[in-house]
Structure 1
Amino acid sequence: MSGGSIELHRLANAPELAARWAAGTGVEFDPYTAWAEVREALSKTPQVPEFTVSDQGGFLEYRAEKSCVSVIVVDDEEEQRDYQVGHGDVWSVSLWAPVRAS
């Protein structure tokens, strides 16, 4: 496998997924994860990765090349939290394998 994604947006309308995950791992997730809260938490950790931001048509991608992490955030101001994530919420987090030099 060269990568994978955690689709946090699915927790908003499927609380049973979060409950199953919490039961198996002991880690609980809220139905919504605000990117501002994640950035706040990251600011308190040493060596925060540097993100480049790109527009993905209704989403913003925050990509940290050094740590091989990409965070997709909802960037449509009309999107409200309900059975789905809203504006400023994390849609997904992806990890990928670094490209090896030949």
Structure 2
Amino acid sequence: MSGGSVELHRHASGQDMAKEWARTMGVEFPRHVARQDLRDALTRVPGAPELEAGDQGGFLEYRTAASGVSVIVVDDEEEERGRHAGHGDVWSVSLWASSVPAR
């Protein structure tokens, strides 16, 4: 496997999926995750890399090659938080493998 993604936006449509995820994976996520809340949490992690922003057409992608992390955030001001992720909410968090030679 070279990567994976947690599509947090799917939790906004209802608590059932979030509850199932918490039960099976042992990890709880709120229904909505604001980019600012994630950013604030990262400032408390020693050595956390700075995420660089890029435009993804209606979304912003914050990523860092150093850790192989990509965070997609809704960037459409007309999108309201509700049964869907709204403006400024995290859409997904992805991890990808760096290009490390096979052993």
> What range describes the TM-score normalised by the shorter chain of this pair?
over 0.9
In the other structure, the counterpart of 2:38 is 38
TM-score w.r.t. the length of structure 1 is 0.93
1:20 aligns with 2:20: yes
SS of the aligned residue for 1:82 comes to coil
CA deviations on 1:78-100 (whole Å, 9 max, x unpaired) are 10011100000000000011012
In the other structure, the counterpart of 1:8 is 8
In the other structure, the counterpart of 1:58 is 58
- Structure-1 separation of matches of 2:55 and 2:23: 36
SS of the aligned residue for 1:73 comes to strand
- Structure-2 separation of matches of 1:29 and 1:53: 23
Count of paired positions:
102
Quote how far apart the aligned CAs of 1:25 are: 3.2
Runs of 4+ in structure 1 displaced over 6 angstroms? none
TM-score w.r.t. the length of structure 2 is 0.92
- Structure-1 separation of matches of 2:25 and 2:71: 22
Provide the identity percentage: 57
Quote how far apart the aligned CAs of 1:101 are: 5.3
Q: Which amino acid aligns with 2:33?
A: T
Consecutive unaligned residues of structure 2, counting only runs of 5 or more, are none
- Structure-2 separation of matches of 1:21 and 1:51: 26
